Chain A
Amino acid sequence: MTTLDAVSAYLPPTVVPIEAICGPDGLPETQAKVFRRFYGLDTVRWDPEAGLAEILLQAVRKLAALRGREHLVRHVIAARTLQAVAPEPINVVRQVCEQAGLSHANAFALTQHACASGLLAVDLAGRLLAAEGDDDGLVLVLTGEKVFTPTAQFIPATTVMGEGTAAVLVARNGNADRVLSYATRTHGRYSNGLFVSHELSAQFQQDYPVSLAEVIHAALREAGLSLADLDLVLPHNVNRVSWSQLCQLLDYPLDRVFMDNIPVTGHCFCADPFINLQSAVERGRLSPGDRYLMVAVGLGATFSAMVLEH
């Protein structure tokens, strides 16, 4: 069984109010007002001085469980939304590997599920270790990105993006959080992402809660659990409104969705559920044996849910 051996998160030091993202090419002011008033967004954390390798390394350096076990890491998977993150021939994943003592590891990026690629990477990590019959091996999953351009800084009418990162150490049959199930669905008609037609965008807004609810139920079925068995939901940090809407549809208590980080971090691409896991553990929101759900949605559009036991 796939396990999350350890998770660490890094939040950059610069606190940016969402209004600072407004401008001629930036977030429209009307949207910033709505984001603050109704979406529960307040600030994001950026690190203008650091590149992508550095903000990923900050999370890796906090991963105490990795120290002394670097030689056991077989693969390093950078789960990203953005495909182009550096000019040729710079390879950011290899840079991280070299500086983290992981030069021997097989390193690659995974972007096919956009912001849901983090959960895909955890699933893939478990499959790779299982296929290799490697009970001692580890996989390091890296999540989080730089917001280089306005396109990466906000999603119109939806959210603002932060540069928080997370590193996740995945093992087989470890003693930490066990992955009980994983379900994912890609709805290819939305493959143009931000550039779909107005009609398709309106359709996506209608489909969104229904599709997300369906994949959550699928993951729960695979785990042999029901919604009532879930002690906590670790969401994406896109906004509060989408979770309020989903909880109404699911008849699930909103206070069991961990939304503390939405006003602090904004949406940190693939890193949200993992940043939230670390925060939830730090704040005593998870006890041993608790079942929880990680949820992610990627533009394009992929809906993913993973059930775990703490």
Chain B
Amino acid sequence: MHTNASSVIDLRTWLTERVAYYLDREPIDIDPDAPLAAFGLDSVYAFALCGDIEDKFRTLVAPTLVRDLRTVNSLAAHLCGAMEAALS
């Protein structure tokens, strides 16, 4: 995994931008604590976001990751923890 985006803040910013792209909204409109499904991020874009995560961090994630963790903040925390664990 890459380490240059290992802070939760960086991850949150990047995830917010990807979610905003799929929803065709501005990143500022994405509440990092709101369930992504409530924004209208349906299953196909949840899978697309999983693909983005795999490509950016060169790792495999469960295809249900986005659905299971639900918010930008929980996703960022999970990915940060996974990266730290991989480095330790």
The answer to whether B51 touches A157 (Cβ under 8 A) is no
Q: How far is the CB of B66 from chain A (nearest CB, A)?
A: 11
Interface size on B, residues (CB 8 A): 12
| CB contact between A205 and one of B42, B48, B51 (< 8 Å): that residue | B42
The answer to whether B42 touches A34 (Cβ under 8 A) is no
The answer to whether B47 touches A38 (Cβ under 8 A) is yes
The answer to whether A38 touches B50 (Cβ under 8 A) is yes
Q: How far is the CA of A198 from the CA of B23 in the complex (A)?
A: 13
The answer to whether B42 touches A30 (Cβ under 8 A) is no
Q: How far is the CB of B32 from chain A (nearest CB, A)?
A: 21
Q: Which residues of chain B are within 8 angstroms of A158 by Cβ–Cβ distance?
A: 44
Q: Which residues of chain B are within 8 angstroms of A31 by Cβ–Cβ distance?
A: 44, 48
Q: How far is the CA of A60 from the CA of B47 in the complex (A)?
A: 39
Q: Which residues of chain A are within 8 angstroms of B45 by Cβ–Cβ distance?
A: 30, 34
Tell whether A241 is near chain B: CB-to-CB under 8 Å.
Answer: yes
Q: How far is the CA of A158 from the CA of B42 in the complex (A)?
A: 11
Q: How far is the CA of A202 from the CA of B43 in the complex (A)?
A: 9
A interface: dominant SS: helix
Name the residue of chain A whose CB is nearest to the CB of B49: A34
Q: Which residues of chain A are within 8 angstroms of B81 by Cβ–Cβ distance?
A: none
Q: How far is the CB of A18 from chain B (nearest CB, A)?
A: 13
Within 8 A of B (CB), among A22-39: 30-31, 33-34, 37-39
Q: How far is the CA of A205 from the CA of B37 in the complex (A)?
A: 11
Tell whether B14 is near chain A: CB-to-CB under 8 Å.
Answer: no
Q: Mark A110-129, 1 if CB is under 8 A from B, else 0.
A: 00000000000000000000
Within 8 A of A (CB), among B7-22: 22
The answer to whether B50 touches A201 (Cβ under 8 A) is no
Q: Which residues of chain A are within 8 angstroms of B44 by Cβ–Cβ distance?
A: 30-31, 34, 156-158
Q: Which residues of chain B are within 8 angstroms of A34 by Cβ–Cβ distance?
A: 44-45, 47-48, 51
The answer to whether A198 touches B40 (Cβ under 8 A) is yes
The answer to whether A37 touches B43 (Cβ under 8 A) is no
With A157-B43, A202-B37 as known contacts, state yes or no: A30 contacts B63, CB within 8 Å: no
A interface residues (Cβ-Cβ under 8 A, vs B) = 30-31, 33-34, 37-39, 156-158, 198, 201-202, 205, 241
What are 16 A-B residue pairs whose CB atoms fall within 8 Å in the complex? Answer: A30-B48, A33-B48, A33-B51, A34-B45, A34-B48, A34-B51, A37-B47, A38-B51, A39-B47, A156-B44, A157-B42, A157-B44, A158-B44, A202-B37, A202-B42, A241-B47
B interface residues (Cβ-Cβ under 8 A, vs A) = 22, 37, 40, 42-45, 47-48, 50-51, 63
8 closest A-B pairs by beta carbon, nearest first, are A157-B44, A34-B47, A38-B47, A34-B48, A34-B44, A38-B63, A30-B48, A37-B51
Starting from the known contacts A34-B47, A205-B42, 11 additional A-B residue pairs (CB-CB under 8 Å) come to A30-B22, A34-B44, A34-B48, A37-B47, A38-B47, A39-B47, A157-B42, A198-B40, A202-B42, A241-B43, A241-B63
